[in-house]
Structure 1
Amino acid sequence: MEYQHGGDIYTNCVTMDYSANINPLGLPEGVREAVYRAADQCFCYPDSQSAALRRKLSEFHNVSAETIICGNGAADLIFQVVSAVRPKEALLIAPSFLEYEQALHSVSCNITYYGLKEEYGFALREQELIAWIEESSRSFQMLFLCNPNNPTGYALKKEQLKVLLDYCRKKHIYLVIDECFNEFLEDPQKYSVLEFLRADSCKQVFLLKAFTKIYAMAGIRLGYGICNDSSTLERIHHIRQPWSVSSIAQAAGEAALEERAYVEASRSLIAREREYLKESLTALGFLVYDSMANYIFFKDIRAEALEEEKLLYHQLLEKRVLIRSCANYRGLDSTYYRICVKQRKENDEFLSVLKFILTERK
């Protein structure tokens, strides 16, 4: 089976991985120490309810612990909420994260796609989406929304999200909002629906968050959902594996929530280096889109890139550099790519290789 995501360092021989959007500061030291301590208790089963972690998340987000559910990464929870709701008709934005489609197929759901427009920079316009749904006369039971979107990196402000929340509530559409990259935005609260979920009236909304990206914990596997709909959470508890979140992951999550200075430093670094990479890629002749997270979405507009499939991907891989081809995203082709944002030294090394490739082809 072909690897479908970034981070494929297992089947590729690489020295530089720019395909996975992980915090370049690496695992926080406090989390590392918590993992070591938790390893000494691995002879015990983990708490199947993740009670201590949920209490800390409750304080961290100022929501009830009863509205929080933890999982083996956000992907685990995507499959769980789909299995709990079991929609017959769902709407997906394209391009967007691949797991939504896989989860919906697992319950034999019929999927309709709303394509983002290149002339808008692949930015979602909420009023146009609503008008399109109305004109389609389809009865959707579920809508997934990734904010900021993966792979484009564009984020909707909370006022725009509120329009979609209100519409979905009126139409009885279960809305799943994925905010796994929200913490990398320069002002995360401006783009989050969290304040709306603090109101009990905000039902049929499932908010996805994860420790994976912002705390560089991809290998630990820890995500969580926030949902005011107790019936959905109850159905998830009936179908989920009881020990899907390891004791090490729970301890790591509790420690990560204390790393506030680390998150601020990460956000500052990403903002600075994202603009540096955008400017550098633009100067090299690529078409760069307005990514707002810790990754950059761009298009290879060289004439030869239209003739040779995944040209830039293969050119870089020959130099042992891995980037994310977006060819398997619906609505994109092999000229679109995504790269992560790292620290300046690494970014300069990456750009040096890229410049060499472009010069070599001339």
Structure 2
Amino acid sequence: MQAVILAAGMGNRLGKYTKDNTKCMLPINGRTLIERALDALDIGGIRKCIMVVGYKKENVIAFLGKKYKNISIEYVSNDIYNKTNNIYSLYLAKDYLLQDDTLLLESDLIFEEKLISDMLQNPEPTIAAVAQYESWMDGTVVKLADDNIIASFIPKKIFNYDEKETYYKTVNIYKFSKEFLRNIYVPFLEAYSHAMGNNEYYEQVLRVITTLDQHELKAFILTRQKWYEIDDIQDKNIAEVIFSDTASERLNRITKCYGGYWRFPRLLDFCYLVNPYFPTKQMFNEMKAYFTDLIASYPSGLNTQNLLGGKLFGIDDSAILVGNGAAELIRAAAATLRGSLGVIYPTFNEYPESFAENKIVPLIPEGFSYSKKDLSIFAEKCDMLLLINPDNPTGNCIPAGDILDLLDELKTKNKKLILDESFIDFCDFDGESSLLKQDILDKYPNLIVIRSLSKSFGVPGIRLGVLASGDKEFIKKTRSHIPIWNINSFGEYFLQIIGKYIKDYRFSCTELIRERERFKKNLENIGFLKVYPSQANYLFCQIKSNITARELAEHLLEHNDILIKDLAGKKGIPDASYIRIAVRGKEDNDKLTNKLMLFYKQL
């Protein structure tokens, strides 16, 4: 068995990284792509490798020489790499293909070493590595028939997203038997090249072969094996996360992404907070139906967004601002407000980071719990008081009646209350919990209510939040810090149609409350977590063992692709034993519970 690696291309989309070097020399976490590939081949027992080089070939040859570890290397030069595609590069190596069973791979791949060994051990003589199609993938896909026979190759131009569940992406690693190469592939490669020219792709030849009544090309379906194709700078960034050298490094890298986890489809995110039961399928379908119109149209300005936000909450449009997420509104409010701000720690970092550090008055309550009386005492120390209700990350919640009493006190002292109700709809107190009502805003001009719609309505990708106040001068000044077109058309359309789905939304909140309590009991039954009461869509937990939150987070990510929030180092958190776990759907919650149970048994 030999290997052929195609490494002649220029890799223009990688910009500065391939300006003076070929793509296979791209380092990922300190090791080049070609080193990673050759290491995998060496471990798999491959002793001969033919490399087709072109762009900056002298760098590759100087770097590798004629031998890499136990692998002898021979070079084939594609001197017209800038005028041809990879079918010509492979054509140049056709004489080598006739000599032995061959692993064919492209040089812009990164993959775990086990993948090569798994393919070599597979009893099928001719296989193509494929993976279930996912959103990040690009390029040729295939459809499979019985016994994993590749039925057809689907090129980009006829890709049908309605059929994406049936597609498998070619990983661009193949194992070919010498008989297949000699009797089928190479003759077809020569004929296709002569007929169609050199500006084609070698997979086109495989596509033709799969049209034969009988052929032996089968799929080797990847399951847990990691791989990634690197075409541009974003791919490089993602690959550095997936192929981090240590669990600690991987956790650091992925948390610094601050979301965008759809790029990591295997990741189960218990860190970021969202309603798993809303929107409904019907609402999603309605938004999909108008996708083309929305993406091709400008959104309305802020006046219209405020009308829509006001309609949703029954608030006059002059008393409300709609923002690109709550974060935009927090920053705008901070730019308007004057005076000291009392902050209860631990808290949502966006608030203290938005206000000047010398204006923050901290309060760290005992046991992560506080009452109206505690808030009243604390308010004496500051000009404005921040209350996140339910609190983030603890889930502590103050009843609406107590907050109204507090507002009466603050009003007489000319003090403001910033009330963040991003999670209030998950509160199961008897009676109405939210103070986002016009009559309350009118009565208490010292009240500022902020809500993130992303978290409660399950649309974090749309980015929506609202700020409301009866203080019209404050609204006017805060608005001056917000762009007139801050909401995209998808956010606007969501606000336009949400009224039809409010009943479904309220039901989703009820479902989440029920699942939260079930999930909480299951976590408590594991035996090494103290789970605090919560009125939000997350659970605040203390680890009752000799491991740290960081160690648990690293273990879950490394071995289970599960991400939790490690709270170590967060202000107000006394030690490294606290975590926050989002409440997801039953299936996901049970998976995390089972993985935690297994981990606990191994301690």
Q: TM-score, normalised by structure 2?
A: 0.54
Look up the match of 1:47. 300
Q: Does 1:34 align with 2:263?
A: no
**Residue 217 of structure 1, CA deviation:** 0.7
Shift in Å, 1:36: 4.8
Select which of 53, 62, 73 maps to 2:314.
Answer: 62
Aligned counterparts of 1:234 and 1:147: Cα–Cα separation in 2: 25
The one-letter amino acid of 1:63's match is I
Per-residue deviation, residues 27-63 of structure 1 (Å, max 9, x unmatched):
3332552365254244443222242x43344344332
In structure 2, relative to structure 1, the CA distance for the partners of 1:153 and 1:334 (3 Å cut) is: same
Q: Give yes or no for contact 1:6–1:19 (8 Å, CA) kept in 2.
A: no
- The yes-or-no answer on 1:114 pairing with 2:366 is no
> Residues of 1 paired with 2:512 and 2:536: CA distance?
8
Partner of 1:315: 555
CA distance in 2 between partners of 1:31 and 1:197 (Å): 33
Matches within 5 A, 1:187-266: 187=429, 190-195=432-437, 197-198=439-440, 200-266=442-508
Matching residue's letter, 2:340: E
Partner of 1:20: 272
Give the one of 293, 299, 306 matched to 2:536: 293
- Which of residues 519, 536, 547 in structure 2 aligns to 1:277? 519
Q: What's the secondary structure of 2:432's corresponding residue?
A: helix
Structure 1 residues 213, 199: CA separation in 2 closer, same or farther (over 3 Å shift)?
closer
1:90/1:112 contact within 8 Å kept: yes
Secondary structure of the residue aligned to 2:343 is strand
Instruction: Give the superposition deviation at 1:228.
Output: 0.8
Cα shift at 1:197: 4.8
CA contact (8 A) 1:155 1:191 kept: no
Q: Secondary structure at the match of 2:483?
A: coil
Alignment of 1:94 onto 2:364: no
1:340: which partner in 2? 582
User: Residue 314 of structure 2 contacts residue 437 of structure 2 at CA under 8 Å; is this kept in 1?
Assistant: no
**Alpha-carbon distance in 2 for matches of 1:7, 1:153:** 22
Distance 1:208-1:103 versus aligned 2 partners, 3 A rule: same
- In structure 2, relative to structure 1, the CA distance for the partners of 1:194 and 1:133 (3 Å cut) is closer
In structure 2, list runs of 5 or more residues that go unmatched: 1-251
Q: State the Cα deviation string for residues 219-277 of structure 1 (Å, max 9, x = none).
A: 11011111111101111222222211112211112222321232133122212211111
Amino acid at match of 1:322: L
Paired with 1:187 and 1:32, the residues of 2 have a C-alpha distance of 33
Number of equivalent positions: 347
For residues 24 and 271 of structure 1, the distance between their equivalents in structure 2, rounded to whole angstroms, comes to 11
Match for 1:124 among 342, 348, 370? 370
Report which structure shows greater RCO (CA 8 Å, sep ≥6). 1
More strand per residue: 2
Instruction: Give the residue type in structure 2 aligned to 1:49.
Output: L
Instruction: State the distance in 2 between where 1:174 and 1:235 align.
Output: 16
- Cα distance in structure 2, aligned partners of 1:37 and 1:109: 48
Letter in 2 for 1:264: R
For residues 142 and 255 of structure 1, what CA distance do their matches in structure 2 show? 36
RMSD: 2.5
Give 1 or 2 for the bigger CA radius of gyration. 2
Q: Percent identity, aligned pairs only?
A: 25
SS of residue paired to 1:316? helix
Residues 1:109 and 1:39: Cα distance change in structure 2 (over 3 Å):
farther
SS at match of 1:212: helix
Q: Give, in whole Å, the separation in 2 of the partners of 1:156 and 1:176.
A: 14
Q: Does 1:331 align with 2:583?
A: no
1:351 equivalent in structure 2: 593
